[in-house]
Amino acid sequence: MHQALNKTINQTVDKILKNDTIHGFSISVHKDGKDVTVSKGNITENSRFFAASVTKLFVTALILKYVDEGKLTLEDKLVDILDTPLLKGLHTFKGKEYTDTITIRHLLSNNTGLPDYFHGDTMKALLEGKDQVWGFEPVLKHVRKRDAHFIPGHPKKKKYVDTNFQLLGRIIETIGKESFEKQVDTFLVKPLELEDTYVYDGRKDKKLVNMFYKGRELILPKYMASIGPEGAVVSTSEDLNRFLKAFFAGQLFSKEHIETLYTWRLVFGPGLFFYGTGISMQPISLFKMKQGLIGHWGQSGAFAFYYPQKDVYMSGTINSITGHNKAAKVMLKVLKSL
């Protein structure tokens, strides 16, 4: 089976790499206790890549770890944990402030209604390769100038925004009394022996492959080093898959939490998918909308997904901001071949 799977992946990826805008692809598949990893193009078996928003699964794991330890609950309020003047006026909807009603659950679920910074001119500049520093304080200062989309905890609305995870990252640092980078390393990387995984800090890394946008290389070290819990993890396909398996196996937090994360509601950007509590679900069929891939996409083209129906794990990257559909095509080919 695994020889056939390897052949299927290689054939599918070879076709994708004929596209001028795609320069590399890597995927690691785990099924029945065995692994198949294929890396092609400018991503070799030794390459590291930006996991981007797959980082949010690392955030979820750390938050649930602290829930297990009794250091917080998902119903705890943001304002009771963080003491910063930047929170004042952070969430204003129709002239009324709702900042003091935001909970950790709202943040994890993208259910706060908070605005984001990653849009419009900011996104345009980054995609043009104009490197810039963001992070916690710049994001919150930007958000305070904009009106919220809806009140926190709205029963029918979710909006995917990176602001929520900047706040969660600061909560992790406040509770753990160490940097987000250090806690990822101590509680996730070292226990799982993820030798090629770390939170990017601007270091020179010869194994790190830059992401692409429409065939053009994006070199954004200042930006990537500044976004931390929002999307700064660097990893490999094999490392991400090892982390993904540990996430769903209950190695990082109580396995009882898993089902409680599946609070799916459809969101429409950046893409069409369902979001739960600190985790997403990508539909693979119009007829079974809520039986899709569970995990997370990264804006860089990275992915880490578990498919319960076939008990298969798939992680990797197409390393292109416009390559998600092609990455999904490879994953679907994998599922059909099993």
Residue 67's CB is within 10 A of a number of other CB atoms, namely 17
Closest C-alpha to 102, from 143, 127, 74 = 74
For residues 222 and 201, give the distance between their C-alpha atoms in angstroms, rounded to a whole number. Answer: 9
Q: For residue 281, what pLDDT is reported? A: 97
Closest C-alpha to 31, from 305, 256, 257, 302 = 305
CB 116 within 8 A of CB 107: no
Q: Which amino acid is at 280?
A: S
User: The tokens of 328 are what?
Assistant: 């999904």
DSSP-derived letter for residue 77 is B
DSSP-derived letter for residue 188 is I
Low-confidence ranges of the chain (pLDDT < 70): 1
**CA distances to 29, 91, 119, 275, 298 from 271, in Å:** 24, 25, 14, 11, 11
39 strand-pairing partners: 26
How many structural domains compose the chain? 1
For residues 44 and 42, give the distance between their C-alpha atoms in angstroms, rounded to a whole number. Answer: 6
Q: For residue 80, what pLDDT is reported? A: 97
3-state secondary structure of 295: strand
Q: For residue 46, what pLDDT is reported? A: 85
Residue 203's CB is within 10 A of a number of other CB atoms, namely 10
Q: For residue 2, what pLDDT is reported? A: 78
3-state secondary structure of 172: helix
3-state secondary structure of 3: helix
> Would you list the DSSP string of 222-278?
HHHHH-GGGT-EEE-HHHHHHHHHHHHHTSSS-GGGGGGG---EEE-SSSSEEE-SS
Find tokens 């509770």 and name the residue. Answer: 175
Residue 70, domain extent: 2-337
For residues 5 and 37, give the distance between their C-alpha atoms in angstroms, rounded to a whole number. Answer: 10
CB 114 within 8 A of CB 107: no
For residues 230 and 56, give the distance between their C-alpha atoms in angstroms, rounded to a whole number. Answer: 6
User: What pTM, to 2 d.p., does this model score?
Assistant: 0.97
Q: For residue 20, what pLDDT is reported? A: 87
**CA distances to 72, 154, 252, 270 from 273, in Å:** 29, 18, 25, 9
Q: Which amino acid is at 233?
A: V
Residue 80's CB is within 10 A of a number of other CB atoms, namely 10
Q: For residue 274, what pLDDT is reported? A: 96
Chain segment 58-116, per-residue pLDDT in tens: 999 999 999 999 999 999 999 999 989 999 999 999 999 999 999 999 999 999 999 99
For residues 335 and 62, give the distance between their C-alpha atoms in angstroms, rounded to a whole number. Answer: 30
> The domain spanning residue 135 has which CATH number?
3.40.710.10
Q: For residue 1, what pLDDT is reported? A: 62
> Would you list the DSSP string of 298-311?
-TTSEEEEEEGGGT
